[in-house]
Amino acid sequence: MLARRWVHVFEEDTAQGAVYRPDSPDLPLSRRPRETLAIAADGSAEVSVPGPADRPTVQPATWTLEGDTVVIRAGGGGRGGKTYRLVDVSADRIVVQQ
């Protein structure tokens, strides 16, 4: 269910975290570049964030299951890297805490 590309739909963010939806042409257009998480079944992932001139910068990442929580580590997961914790997961939405 998670192995797909997810797009940050910041308009839906909640106090619980950032809301991501499966990539789809039905997502609302945005002047602000959207962050994406591409999750693969083999434990690899990619994080795409807005870079210079709003062009996407892709960072390789990995994901693991820690207890009941999926954790994605991008950019090495250490200094300068980001950690994403998926705190709510369904077929059409994930909620991420960074």
**CATH assignment of the domain containing 31:** 2.40.128
User: Would you place residue 28 in the very low, low, confident or very high pLDDT band (cuts 50, 70, 90)?
Assistant: confident
Report the predicted TM-score, pTM, of the whole model to 2 decimal places: 0.89
Structural domain of 87: 5-97
Overall number of domains in the chain: 1
Instruction: Identify the residue with better confidence: 70 or 52.
Output: 70
Strands (E), 1-98: 5-8, 18-22, 36-39, 44-50, 56-66, 69-74, 82-90, 93-97
pLDDT for 50: 85
